[in-house]
Every structure is written in structure tokens, then in C-alpha cells.
Amino acid sequence: MKPPIVVRELAEKMGRKPFQIIADLMSMGAFVTVNQTIDPELAQKLCAKNNIRFDTERRNLEAHQVNIQPREQKLELDQDDKLEDLRPRAPVITIMGHVDHGKTSLLDVVRKANVVAGEAGGITQHIGAYTISYPHPITGLLQQLTFLDTPGHAAFSAMRARGANVTDIVVLVVAATDGVMPQTLEALAHAKVAKVPIIVAVNKCDHPNANPMKVRQQLQDKGLIPDDWGGDTIYVDCSAHTKQGIDKLIDSILLQAELLELKANPNRKAKGNVIESGVEAGGPVATVLVRKGTLRVSDVIICGEFYGRVRAMMNEEGDRLKEAIPSVAVRVLGLNGVPEAGSEFSAIDNEKAARALTEERFEARKKAELEGVRPKRMSLEDIFGGIRDATAKVLKIIVKADTQGSVEAICEALRKIASDKISLEIIRDSVGAITVDDVMLAASANAVILGFHTRVDNSAAEAAKREGVQIKLYAIIYELIDHVKEAMAGLLDPLLKEVVVGQAEVRKVFDLSKGGKVAGCYVVNGKILRGKMRIRRRTNVIYEGVSLTLKRFQDEVNEVRSGMECGLRLEGFDDYTEGDIVECYTVEKIAQKL
């Protein structure tokens, strides 16, 4: 094709519907409409994905340069930072745990521990994130920490399902009076899926009925072994009521952050995620966490389907800021709409290009919704076919059943599926109906939900359809186990086996008038098919390749049977000698067993 390459014309050339091409481009990160142009490199990738060869005509490319829109690349490209430009940044901490175990009280006490804030601060606003300064336990230098006050682990997993890994450390709050509760385990499941360090804050230690040792024993069974018992999880006994252990908790967070060696480049355009958003008197407001770069007032930012110029930035105290460095959360005014929590924002130079790109994204999303394009998640059928990425050798599942006995029996049976080639990871097992929270956890972990004698909530079914999560329901336990076994086997790469189809002996070599040679052969056994062939001279293989032509007299044929003669040419080989054996073979894929 000649540049400029218009999506509609490309779809016609490929013999596909425009919406299918747009859906493919969306999966590759490019949001375009049917009448827009794409660059040749992107078109080449798209054609390669559909097994179609793509060539561009280079002539007069300069004349068309104006029409080719490099906007996608310029706005979407996130440049890699050089190691020498990276500077230490503050850790981002999320506090999670069971309801009424004291998460908010603990966060309030931590905020009051801020050594920089004065007594009479401004009007404190709930912005979903708080940055405090605290002296380092060893150096004594003031260190910054940013705490995310998320509404709960459901919001945390919703953000992760959209690809926002904003948290560096999770503080799991467990009440010493109640011990581990269902939501504690849910929060733990989300933290483990996010693969971030976990610090356990054992709260309410001042209570007469407190039993911090019980919490340690319960969580040890879940894989969080205390450091003083030879494990690597830090436990801190504390009380939001008496402020006992708060200093030790902050010290532990700072020391854990030091081990992580968190760094970012502040001297570049800002990039980060939306923590929460809404509409207030001044218009749409978004709380954003800057992950790299520095966000400044009057910067143009693009966030999903919305964009705008930053009119004002405020911290949690209501103070106006001129700039926000990495790991700082601020409320931003100036967007033309309310973005989703977890969506990514980028600061850019060109407001006009930002407007055009947000319009394209909006149109592409609408079109995708109309066509029913959903995010591609793992399904059991994919795994049976063995078409998953070869690097993914872990099957992640969520088990839900009607009784605790069924849950334990299923998990026990699943864990007995022994295999050194592949691992099975049960990221959650609980009793009850399949809920939205299960679906969001499965979306963030790319897992499959297995239900046994249980039902699916209406809202969960809608969420599963929207997020592309597969839910499988079973009534017979053996059927569930067998399906999981098949799925695990499907994850393994198939074994390749060569099967010799036939052999032919070269009896005479003919020269062609146009150049090249033809081997006149006699099929000694089996049959000769078009396809993969090798030439043996005495005992050595001297060439392997594919057939170029296979003829019987003057006719091109697909196969020649034993006892018949044929003319044969191989691609890239002309050095035939009488007496050579031409071996025809196929490669079969054999599914591996566990």
C-alpha cells in the first residue's frame, strides 16, 4: 500500500470488517477511527497478526508526511528513564483490612504523627491520599510517606484490574480482639495478587481481650510468617486509641521502603494514576498520584477519554500547590470530565492533539461496546487448547462452594494434582455466592472462577461479562477436578514428533532451460507429499527444506504413491546426485500429560 494508510482502505485490502481492524488496533494500544490514518509500522504489525504480508511504496513519502498522524506515538509513548536520572521517591502505602478493625482510626493517628504539619492547619479535605513527613529511624532525616485511603479492597482490585499498580507496600490491619476475619483474608488475597510487601498492624492491643499471638498463628497458616519466628513478614503491635506502637509501625514502613529502593525521574513530564474522582462546585475533580515526572499547574493532562489544563492543585490540607513530584497525591481541577479510578494520566505539550485523541478514544470505546469487544482474559477453553503464552505456567483459580466442607475438599483435591511442570495457585477459597469482589479479584489476577453448588449474583454476572472473566459452575466434584487437570495439561507446550511419510530415490537429474535442476525420483515406500523434506546421501542428512514443485509427467500433484515416478524440486537446493534418498516427513504436536 501507498502511505497514507487509512484504516478503512486497509480493512478492504485485508478483506476484514473495519470494526474488527479497530478492535485489533485497540488491543495493540492505538485508538483510531475508521477514517483516520496509521503509520506503516503499526499496519505491518496488524497484518503480521493476521498472517498477511504488508509492503509499503516508499516513493513520494515526503509529500504525504503531513497526513500521517504520529500523534498516537507522541502522546502515548512513555519514554524509558535513564538510570542516572532516577532519584529516590517516597513509598506509597495502602491500608487494608476487615471493617471495624481500626483502619481509619490508625490512619488518623498516623496523619497526626506528621512532624511538619502545624497545630492549626487548613480545612482538611478527604482526598483519598495523605502525604506525611517523618524522621528516618536510623539517619534522622525527614522522609515522606504517602498513604492511600482507599474505600476498601474492592476499589483496590478494581484499580488493579485496570492495570494500575500504584501501591508499594500494603499495611494489613487486624484487630487483636477479633483475629483474622473474612474480609482480612480477602484483603490478603488482593495484596498477594499485587505482589507487594505486607506489613501486619495488630491493632487494639490495649484492649483487655487482646490476643496478638492468635493473629500471628492465624496468619502464619496463610503464609505470613512473623520475622521473629524465622519468617519475613513484619508484625507491629499497636493501638490507635493509646498511640502505642505507631512510631514503630512508621519506622517499619520506612525500613521496608528502603529495601525496595524506590526511584523515579522527577525531571520529565508527569505520569501517574487517578485514585478517585467526582464532580464538585468548580467542576470535575480528580485525585491523582504522580508516579514519575513532576506535575505543574497549567500542564495539559490526558486521562482516558478526558483531558484538560491543570487549573489548580491542592493537597489534603486544602493548600494550593504549584507542582507535585513523584509519589505525591493531589486534587486536580481542570479536566473536562470524570475519569475512572485507576485510569492512567499523562502530561503532554499539545492541547489540540490531546482533544483529538480523547475524541478518538471515546468513539473507539463506543464502537467496541456496540461490537461487544471485551478484555481478553484467561478461559479454560484457551488453556485446553494450549494457546496461552508459553511463559505462563501457572493456573490461577478462585474456588467458591456452598459449604466450608466442600471448599476444603475441593482445595485438598486440587492441591493433590501433582506436577513438576506446572503450578496451580488458589488465590481465594470461600463459602457463598460468587460476588462482584470475586470477579474483580479474578480480573486483576487473570484467574478463572470455579463455583460448586453455588450461584452467581446478578451484578457479578454483569461484571464478569464486562471484565471478560470466566465463571464455571459445577455440580459434580470429580468433573471440576478433571477440568482443572485438563486445563493444567493444556498450559504445557505440546511435544513435537517427526513422522516419516515416505521415501523416494533419485534415479536421474535433469537440467532446466531456465536454470536449476529437477530430480527424477522413484517412490520406494510410503508416499511423497508437498511440504517438508530432507535429502540423505549415504547416511548423512545434507539438506532440509520444503518442496518447490512436485510433478507427475507434466501435471503438478499433491502426492505421489509408492512404486510411481515423479519430478521433484526443493526450495534453495540444486545439488542432486543419483542415489540420493528424498525423505518426506510431517511434524505432529502431541499434548503433554501432567
- HEC states along 480-505? HHHHHHHHHHHHCCCEEEEEEEEEEE
Instruction: Answer yes or no: is pLDDT of 576 > 80.
Output: yes
Q: Tell which residue, 9, 12, 8, 54, has the closest CA to residue 33.
A: 8
What pLDDT was estimated at residue 208? 87
State the average pLDDT over residues 224-228: 87
Helix (H, G, I), strand (E, B) or coil at 336: coil
Instruction: Answer yes or no: is pLDDT of 494 > 60.
Output: yes
Regarding whether 546 and 448 lie in a shared domain, the answer is: no
- Supply the CATH number for residue 564's domain: 2.40.30.10
User: Which one of 261, 291, 322 terminates a domain?
Assistant: 261
Per the prediction, the chain carries an average pLDDT of: 80
What pLDDT was estimated at residue 20? 81
> Is 80 inside a domain boundary?
no
Instruction: Answer yes or no: is pLDDT of 583 > 90.
Output: yes
- Supply the CATH number for residue 159's domain: 3.40.50.300
How far, in Å, are 118, 142, 372, 440 from residue 12 at the CA level? 67, 62, 22, 38
Give the whole-angstrom CA distance, residue 464 versus residue 471: 8
More confident residue, 453 or 115: 453
Regarding whether 133 and 113 lie in a shared domain, the answer is: yes
How far, in Å, are 82, 147, 148, 436 from residue 157 at the CA level? 31, 17, 14, 11
Which residue carries 485497540 as its cell? 26
Regarding whether 384 and 351 lie in a shared domain, the answer is: no
Instruction: Answer yes or no: is pLDDT of 450 > 80.
Output: yes
In contact, 306 and 336? CB cutoff 8 Å: yes
Instruction: Answer yes or no: is pLDDT of 588 > 80.
Output: yes
What pLDDT was estimated at residue 565? 93
Per DSSP, helices labelled H in 239-379 are 246-260, 351-371
User: Which one of 491, 525, 552 terminates a domain?
Assistant: 491
In contact, 37 and 67? CB cutoff 8 Å: yes
Three cell numbers, residue 185: 483474608
> Is 85 inside a domain boundary?
no
Helix (H, G, I), strand (E, B) or coil at 320: strand
Using only the alpha carbons of the chain, give its radius of gyration. Answer: 31
> Is 284 inside a domain boundary?
yes
- CB neighbour list of residue 334: distance below 8 Å, 6 or more residues apart: 283, 301, 308, 309, 310, 311, 312
What pLDDT was estimated at residue 585? 92
What pLDDT was estimated at residue 392? 47
**Torsion on CA atoms 42, 46, 51, 56, rounded to nearest 10:** -40
What pLDDT was estimated at residue 211? 87
User: Which one of 436, 462, 491 terminates a domain?
Assistant: 491
In contact, 261 and 91? CB cutoff 8 Å: no
Give the whole-angstrom CA distance, residue 136 versus residue 387: 50
Per DSSP, helices labelled H in 50-131 are 61-64, 71-76, 103-112
In contact, 438 and 398? CB cutoff 8 Å: yes
> Is 79 inside a domain boundary?
no
Give the whole-angstrom CA distance, residue 147 versus residue 441: 22
Q: Tell which residue, 268, 463, 286, has the closest CA to residue 375.
A: 463
> Is 232 inside a domain boundary?
yes
Instruction: Answer yes or no: is pLDDT of 68 > 60.
Output: no
pLDDT, tens only, 502-534 = 999 999 999 888 888 899 999 999 999 998 999
Regarding whether 462 and 519 lie in a shared domain, the answer is: no
State the average pLDDT over residues 563-580: 90
Three cell numbers, residue 382: 484457551
In contact, 395 and 491? CB cutoff 8 Å: yes
Give the whole-angstrom CA distance, residue 486 versus residue 422: 12
What pLDDT was estimated at residue 419? 62
What pLDDT was estimated at residue 592? 64
Query: Comparing 11-15, 214-218, 397-401, 491-495, which segment has the lowest mean pLDDT?
Result: 491-495
Regarding whether 231 and 104 lie in a shared domain, the answer is: yes
Q: pTM of the full predicted structure?
A: 0.58
Per DSSP, helices labelled H in 15-60 are 18-27, 40-49
Instruction: Answer yes or no: is pLDDT of 70 > 80.
Output: no
Range of the domain at 405: 380-491
How many folded domains does the chain comprise?
5
pLDDT, tens only, 88-137 = 888 988 888 877 777 778 888 887 766 655 444 444 455 667 788 888 87
